Amino acid sequence: MPRRIVMIYIEPTPYIVALIDALRGSWDGPIEVLYITTNASQAWNLKVDGDRDHVLPLRLFAGMAAICAALIRGVERPILHLAG
């Protein structure tokens, strides 16, 4: 099975969500997406799938803890994609 991918983006936007959907359609492994916030650049008002996608907590250390948890979850280390 392919390795898990953890992707971190600033916010969900239509083009980012479309990219992630396309990757999920072609990648056999799990893809987890973390967003720093929502509606930062404009009011996209896109829903975030709470099973595979998450918005990080606003508090700095809580957000860092969520990123660390995503990176150490599972047996293998994930591939990290950091954008922005």
The string of pLDDT tens digits covering residues 32-68 is 999 999 999 999 999 898 889 999 999 999 999 999 9
pLDDT in tens, 5-21: 999 999 999 999 999 99
pLDDT of residue 84: 77
Backbone phi, psi, residue 48, to 5°: -105, 125
- Lookup: tokens for 21: 């959907």
Per-state percent for the chain, helix, strand, coil, to nearest 5: 30, 20, 50
27 with 52: CB under 8 angstroms? no
The pTM of the full predicted model, rounded to 2 decimals, is 0.92
pLDDT of residue 60: 96
